[in-house]
Amino acid sequence: MEKQDFDLIVIGGGPGGYIAAIRAAQLGAKVCLIEKRRMGGTCLNWGCIPTKALHRSAEVCQLVKNSEEFGIITNGASVNWEQVQARKNKVVDQLVSGIVQLMKANGITVVEGEAAFADANSISVSKADGSAESISAGRIIIATGSKPAVLPIEGADLPGVLDSTALLGIDHIPRRLAIIGGGVIGMEFAAIFNAFGSQVTVIEFLPSILAQLDSDLSKRLVPMMKKKGIEILTGSRVMKIEQQDGLLLTVSTKKGEMQIAADQVLMAAGRQPVVEGLMLEKAGVGYDRKGIGTNSFGQTNVPHIYAIGDVTGGIMLAHTASHQGVAAAEHLMGKTPHYNAAVVPGCVFTFPEIAFAGMTEEEASAKGIAFKTGRFMFGANGKALALGEGEGLLKVIADENDILIGVHIMGPHASDLIHEGVLAIGMKQSAENIIGTIHAHPTLSEVFSEAVMGLNGAALHSAPAKKN
C-alpha cells in the first residue's frame, strides 16, 4: 500500500468535524480538514450562534420595553437593525477566528474547497480558483452536515420565500412574517421576530408545534405564544404561495381554507443530510435519503471511513455531532470511547426558554414504564420573580424506584438548568440523592430540587395536593 498524505482526513469543519480533528490530533494523528465555506459549519455561521445572538438582542428589546416594571423609566426604545446584525456578525466572526487558531495550535492542515471521493482512501478537492488537489489518508471522517429541507409548494421559489440562512441575513425586520413549520427552527424565529415587532403566523402540518415536547409543556406553550401575538395554525398545510401585495399564502386548516398575507415567508420544514457531490459510490459507502448509516462508533460499511453529525440523519444537534466526533476520533485511534449517547438534551430558545432530556410522560406510558411525576412552578421561585420571569414550570419524571428518567423545563435559563437533569438521568440518580444535595438560595436551581421533592408530595414551597 502506498504511503498516505495524512493519518486522517475530516470532510467538514462544523461542530462535529473540527472537534473530531482536534481530538484525533491530540491523540497523535496527522490530520487534514477540508472545509468548502467557513470553519464552524452551519451551527456557528448560519444556525446556533447567530440565532442566539439575535435571541439575546430580542431579549434585551423586551426587557427595555418592560423596564418600568423594574422601576427604570426610559423615553422609549427603537431597534437599530443594522447594529443588531453587526453585533451578530461580530460574535460569529470572533468564534470562527477562534476555531481557525485552534486548527493551527493543534497542527491540523486546513484545505479550503469542495471534497469528493476519488476512491476509498483518496479525496479530490475542488478549489475556488478552479484548480484541484488530491489528498489521501488511512482514515476518513465525513462531517458534511445538513441543509434546509424544501417543501414542494407552488410558489416556494418566489422572491421573499426564504430559508433560515437567508432570514438570518435579512436587511430589515419583516412587518409580516409567515413561518412554514412549527419545529425548533420555526418557533425560535417566531419568538425572535415577534419580540422585534413582526406580525408572525406559524403554519404547522402536525397537530401540535414542537411535537417532541412533553404534553405539560406543549399545552402551556401555545397560549403563552398567542398572548404575545404569535398566531399558530396547527393541523394546517400551505397549498400555494402567490405574489400579491407582497406574498399571499393559501392555507388548508381544520376550519377550512384561508389566506394569509406576508412580506416574507420562512421555510422551516426541517433539514436533510448533505451527501450530494461527495461521490460516496467511489468509496463504496452506503447511504439512503435519510443519511449515511453508521454503527455506534461512527463507522460506515467501509470500516476505515466514518460519518458523524447531521449527515448520518440521526439527532441533528451540534452537541450530538461534537460527541460523535470525539467518539469517532478515539475509536479510529484505537481507544474505547466513553460517552452517554442515550441522554441528549434538547433546547428551544423561545420566550421563555424550553429544555428537555430523557423520556416524556407519553414515551414512558408507551413503553409500559410505571412512573410518577413532580412539578414546580417558576412563579413560586424567588429568583425567577426577581428576574421578572415567573412564567413556566419544571417537571421531573421518575420510575417506580424513584430513579429519574425525564426532565422537562419551560422557564428562565432552561437551557442552563437542564444539565443537572441530564447528569441525574445519565447517572441514574435517585430522588433521594438530588434532594439530599443542597441547592443555593436564591437560585433557579431550587426549582429542580422542589420538583424532585414533589415526586413524593414533599415539595416545601407549594401547597400539598388535595386528598380525595
Give the model's pLDDT for residue 445. Answer: 97
How confident is residue 75, by pLDDT bands cut at 50, 70 and 90? confident
Spatial distance between the Cα atoms of 362 and 176, rounded to a whole number of angstroms:
36
Q: pTM higher than 0.85, yes or no?
A: yes
The CATH number of the domain holding residue 178 is: 3.50.50.60
- What residues contact residue 274 under an 8 Å CB cut-off, 6+ apart? 144, 145, 146, 147, 310, 311
70 is a domain residue? yes
404 and 374 inside one domain? yes
The residues, ordered by sequence, that sit 6+ positions from 276 with a Cβ below 8 Å of its Cβ are none
Asked if residues 298 and 324 have their Cβ atoms less than 8 Å apart, the reply is yes
17 domain residue, yes or no = yes
Query: Residue 347 corresponds to which amino acid?
Result: C
Helix (H, G, I), strand (E, B) or coil at 268: coil
Output the pLDDT for position 80: 96
Do 356 and 434 lie in one domain? The reply is yes
Looking at the structure, do residues 30 and 169 belong to the same domain, yes or no? no
Whether residue 190 sits in one domain with residue 62:
no
Look at residue 242 in the predicted model and tell me its pLDDT.
96
Output the domain CATH number for residue 381: 3.30.390.30
The mean per-residue pLDDT over the stretch 395-418 comes to 97
Q: Do residues 10 and 129 both lie within one domain?
A: yes
Question: Does 113 share its domain with 13?
Answer: yes
Residues 128 and 13 in one domain: yes
pLDDT digits (tens, 9 = 90+) for 208-229: 999 999 999 988 999 999 999 9
Q: How confident is the model at residue 468 (pLDDT cuts 50, 70, 90)?
A: low
Q: How many domains does the chain have?
A: 3
- Going by C-alpha positions, the residue among 310, 311, 323 that lies closest to residue 285 is 311
Whether 370 and 295 share a structural domain: no
Cβ(142)–Cβ(292) under 8 Å?
yes
Phi then psi for 114, rounded to 5 degrees?
-100, 125
Same domain, 252 and 283: no
Would strands 132-142 and 305-307 be described as parallel, antiparallel, or unpaired? parallel
Which residue type is seen at 169? Answer: G
User: What's the CA gap between 447 and 430, in Å, rounded?
Assistant: 17
Looking at the fold, whether 40 and 135 belong to one and the same domain comes out as yes
| Same domain assignment for residues 165 and 143 | no
pLDDT, tens digit (0-9, with 9 covering 90-100), for 21-71: 999 999 999 999 999 989 999 999 999 999 999 999 999 999 999 999 999
Which secondary-structure segment (H or E) carries 128?
A: none
| Any domain includes 340 | no
Tell me whether residue 444 is in a domain: yes
For the question of residue 331 being annotated catalytic, the response is no
Backbone angles phi, psi at 162, to 5 degrees: -120, 155
Listed in sequence order, the residues at least 6 apart from 218 whose beta carbon sits closer than 8 Å to its beta carbon are 208, 209, 210, 211
| Whole-number Å distance between alpha carbons of 103 and 107 | 6
Q: Are residues 254 and 277 in the same domain?
A: no
Catalytic residue among 338, 419, 441, 461: 441
For residue 44, what are the domain limits?
Answer: 6-147+272-332
